[in-house]
């Protein structure tokens, strides 16, 4: 139905064309003067009316509050992703609905159904930047067709913010999953030692120490992510050495359980330089990059971490031999998206959040069959 309803050839997904200024103003006046949506100001969720070009011609106060806008004229004429400043539009050249990423957007799919005369509901995981760096919004959206008295076609689009519920569930599931796994292993080890006191030799004590380190690291990681999302995380910058940072991360993940039968290597062309950043947060970001690469690697493969100086920035990168499917690439930074199961997707999201909101840097990646997958972050010099 999509290909017959819409001409998608000019963009990566939906058409870019917008209504003329005069046409848009006529639509805004017609919806306002009809009085059909006055009651929408009383509903406790976002509601907007979209024209056939997916532009808002009416928004209620809840949408203004969600978008941190003062008056509706700041929003009218924009598309949903533009209203909430979706990060995939931050290049200033892309329009909502036209990018490769929009193919996996629940909001875009629901709007397409609404414009096609169908009712639809979906979950939209949107990464926005409303002035304070990347912010995850989990929205339950619905779309339904609406024709006014003159036969003009619109879509009534509603948005319910379920971010808090999703955030709590994700943190709880991941926290309990990872912490209980580690704690369970420790309990089994300690029960064995209690039954066989002489079995606690140097090697066993080393394993026990590593297990406690991982348990503490998981707790701190969840604490920092919760603080980062609430805006309470404090950045403590200091003078750092690039190779020392890499060696620290490599030391941790070479002995991690997910590195079994795999190698974590430093790139031979890594550059030695001094720079200023938060050692803990940078270590958390690089650790997540390495962990994700190890999880994507097969037995016998290597993950390579490196660093270099670029124009105006210090770059840290991690490479593995795998290639992500397009559907995964298009959702990789979304908060609740994961290839590892329900409510697991915090690794790449935390990389984006910590890097762009707290370290002042940028995140990017490439993934091809020929060259594998490479993630990198650029920290301003």
Per-residue pLDDT of the chain (381 residues; tens, 9 = 90+): 333 344 444 689 999 999 999 999 999 999 999 999 999 999 999 999 999 999 999 999 999 999 999 999 999 999 999 999 998 898 778 899 999 999 989 999 999 999 899 999 998 988 888 777 788 888 999 999 999 988 899 999 999 988 776 666 666 665 666 677 667 767 777 787 788 887 778 877 776 777 777 778 778 877 887 788 778 889 999 999 999 999 999 988 887 778 889 999 999 999 999 999 999 899 989 988 998 899 999 999 999 999 999 989 999 999 999 999 988 888 787 765 555 544 444 578 888 888 988 999 999 999 999 999 999 999 998
CB 276 within 8 A of CB 237: yes
Q: Point out which residues pair with 372 in neighbouring strands.
A: 368
How far apart CA 279 and CA 238 sit, in angstroms, is: 7
Q: What is the pLDDT of residue 4?
A: 37
Q: What is the pLDDT of residue 8?
A: 46
Element (H, E) at 250: helix 242-254
CB 88 within 8 A of CB 108: no
* Sequence-separated (6 or more) residues with CB below 8 Å from residue 350: 221, 225, 228, 284, 285, 288
Of the CATH numbers 3.40.50.740, 1.10.260.40, 3.30.565.10, 3.40.50.300, which one belongs to the domain with range 236-381?
A: 3.30.565.10
Distances (CA, A) of 344 to 25, 126, 279: 44, 16, 25
Q: Point out which residues pair with 141 in neighbouring strands.
A: 122, 159
How far apart CA 226 and CA 22 sit, in angstroms, is: 46
pTM for the model:
0.66
How many CB atoms within 10 Å of residue 242? Answer: 20
Q: Which two tokens stand for residue 90?
A: 């931050």
Highest CATH level, class, for 2-161: alpha beta
Of 137, 105, 121, residue with least CA distance to 335: 137
How far apart CA 304 and CA 264 sit, in angstroms, is: 6
Looking only at the bridges linking them, the beta strands covering 237-241 and 263-266 are: unpaired
Number of DSSP helices (H) and strands (E) in the chain, helices first: 11, 12
Is residue 171 exposed (0-12), middle (13-18) or buried (19+ Cβ within 10 Å)?
Answer: middle
* Sequence-separated (6 or more) residues with CB below 8 Å from residue 278: 235, 236, 237, 238, 358, 359
Of 296, 263, 283, 302, residue with least CA distance to 377: 283
| Structural domain spans, the chain | 2-161, 163-233, 236-381
How far apart CA 276 and CA 264 sit, in angstroms, is: 25
Element (H, E) at 3: helix 2-5
- Count of residues in the chain: 381
Q: What is the pLDDT of residue 11?
A: 86
Q: What is the pLDDT of residue 252?
A: 82
- Alpha carbon 196 to its chain centroid, in Å, reads 47
Q: Point out which residues pair with 380 in neighbouring strands.
A: 313
């Amino acid at each position: 139905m999509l290909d017959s309803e819409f001409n998608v050839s000019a963009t990566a997904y939906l058409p870019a064309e917008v209504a003329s200024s005069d046409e848009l103003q006529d639509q805004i006046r017609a919806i306002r003067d009809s009085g059909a949506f006055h009651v929408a100001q009383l509903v406790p969720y976002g509601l907007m009316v979209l024209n056939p070009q997916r532009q808002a011609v009416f928004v209620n106060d809840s949408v203004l509050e969600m978008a941190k806008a003062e008056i509706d004229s700041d929003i009218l004429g924009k598309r949903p992703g533009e209203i909430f400043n979706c990060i995939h539009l931050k290049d200033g050249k892309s329009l909502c609905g036209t990018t490769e990423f929009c193919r996996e957007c629940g909001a875009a799919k629901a709007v397409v159904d609404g414009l096609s005369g169908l009712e639809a509901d979906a979950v939209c995981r949107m990464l926005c930047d409303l002035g304070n760096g990347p912010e995850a919004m989990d929205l339950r959206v619905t779309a339904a067709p609406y024709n006014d008295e003159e036969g003009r076609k619109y879509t009534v689009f509603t948005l319910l913010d379920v971010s808090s519920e999703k955030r709590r569930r994700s943190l709880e599931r991941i926290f309990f999953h990872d912490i209980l796994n580690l704690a369970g292993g420790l309990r089994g080890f300690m029960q064995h030692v209690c039954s066989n006191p002489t079995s606690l030799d140097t090697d066993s004590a080393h394993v026990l120490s590593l297990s406690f380190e991982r348990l503490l690291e998981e707790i701190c990681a969840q604490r920092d992510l919760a603080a980062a999302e609430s805006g309470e995380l404090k950045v403590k910058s200091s003078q750092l050495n690039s190779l020392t940072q890499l060696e620290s991360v490599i030391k941790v993940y070479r002995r991690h359980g997910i590195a079994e039968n795999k190698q974590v290597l430093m790139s031979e062309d890594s550059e030695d330089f001094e720079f200023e950043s938060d050692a803990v947060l940078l270590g958390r970001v690089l650790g997540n990059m390495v962990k994700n690469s190890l999880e994507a690697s097969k037995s016998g493969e290597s993950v390579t971490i490196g660093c270099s100086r670029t124009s105006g920035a210090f770059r840290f990168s991690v490479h593995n031999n795998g290639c992500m499917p397009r559907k995964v690439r298009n959702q990789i930074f979304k908060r609740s998206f994961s290839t590892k199961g329900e409510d697991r997707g915090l690794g790449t999201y935390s990389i984006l959040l910590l890097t762009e909101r707290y370290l002042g840097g940028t995140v990017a990646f490439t993934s091809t069959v020929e060259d594998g997958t490479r993630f990198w972050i650029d920290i301003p010099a």
